[in-house]
Structure 1
Amino acid sequence: MERQIVESVQQWLRDVVVGLNLCPFARKPLRAGQIRYKVSDTRDDEALMAELLEEMQLLDSTSAEELETTLLIVPHHLQDFADFNQFLELAEWLIERHDYSGIYQLASFHPDYQFAGTRPEDEENLTNRAPYPILHLLREASVERLLGNYPDPESIPANNIRRVGGLTAEQKRQLFPYLFARDR
């Protein structure tokens, strides 16, 4: 089961994140094998917080050349997006509490991801929709370096919205099968 979960996340990363160029910085660590895929078996916030801290500590003890980033995949917990969104506040608190502010940055993905001020069906939400809830730990130094070398990084979100907005219904079904496999 864990292998299938990781494979579905890897496919999403290849086909959606890199394939649509939603994150222009993801291609290199994907190709170099510098992404850790950690599947969490937890079903409660406290245990998930402990796992998130362990992943930050692992990044601490591993060079960026070996491990650039971690995707903590949460298939059995935080299925409701409101619960997931609330958990993100705890995760940010954890980062601050352990003096990881400015060291690690948290990005988040969820099958029902919804940006503030949008409706669930708005296409822009597709940019952060993944097969499972995912807590993505990024190295702040790497993000800053990449953004400094990228022309017009402020245009990335608008470009992403245009990309997903330009997808046909069939392309959406192919790229986001998990969104169409369940009752929505």
Structure 2
Amino acid sequence: MDIADATVLADTRHWIEKAVIGLNLCPFARSVYVKNQVRIVVSRARHLDAFLDELDRELDLLVNTPAEEVDTTLLVHPTLFPDFEVFNDFMGVVDDVVAEHELEGVIQVANFHPQFQFEGVAPDDISNATNRAPYPTLHLLREDSVARAVASDGGDADAIVERNIQTLRALGASGWQALLAKP
């Protein structure tokens, strides 16, 4: 089933607004989102090579565009990665692409997936929701922006992760589902 780009964009924005910003899961999301500095790209690549070409283009665009215009990019593919394990394994290739572009220490890529699961954590553990998005998503982040965000939030990235898990545990699975339910 092909999901319309407008639906993918609306679902992704809903997730950003309700979960990422609404629960403050990412300490710098609100500021870049309200300034329209978050680029959301819906990929329609039919195979991995084409998706990697899109990743190449988005990395180039991000590093060649001032942060005031585009601070971060979400590359979303609604159908190419239905299996989380395949998507998670693909992250090794993504890391290689970042290295090929000589962007280690400049750009980092976080991954989000509807069935995201941390290693050693049960599939139904609510902590997995910190990295669950409506569709498989690569989040291209400027390292400088991440460092500033972490510093402004107390300087401890592990504390942010732990706070997010506590927030989700307090919310619970039914609260998470209610939060993301569309009106």
Band of TM-score, shorter chain? over 0.9
Show the counterpart of 1:43: 46
Show the counterpart of 2:159: 155
2:31 matches 1:28:
yes
Q: Give per-residue Cα distances to partners, 1:46-70, cap 9 Å, x unaligned.
A: 1111111100111122100011000
Q: Secondary structure at the match of 2:171?
A: coil
Name the CA distance, whole Å, in 2 between partners of 1:148 and 1:21: 15
Contact 1:42–1:76, Cα closer than 8 Å, also in 2: no
Name the CA distance, whole Å, in 2 between partners of 1:168 and 1:121: 11
Q: Give per-residue Cα distances to partners, 1:85-128, cap 9 Å, x unaligned.
A: 11111000100112011110001100000011111111100111
Show the counterpart of 1:57: 60
With structure 1 as the length reference, what TM-score do the two structures score? Answer: 0.92
Unpaired stretches in structure 1, ≥5 consecutive residues: 179-184
2:108 matches 1:105:
yes
2:15 matches 1:12:
yes
Q: Which amino acid aligns with 1:174?
A: A
Contact 2:126–2:173, Cα closer than 8 Å, also in 1: no
Report how far residue 167 of structure 1 moved: 1.2
Unpaired stretches in structure 2, ≥5 consecutive residues: none
Among all aligned residue pairs of Structure 1 and Structure 2, give the percentage whose two residues are the same amino acid.
Answer: 40
Q: Give per-residue Cα distances to partners, 1:114-164, cap 9 Å, x unaligned.
A: 011111111100111110000000011111222233214231111111111
Show the counterpart of 2:136: 133
Moved over 6 A (4+): none
Show the counterpart of 1:174: 178
User: How many residues are matched?
Assistant: 178
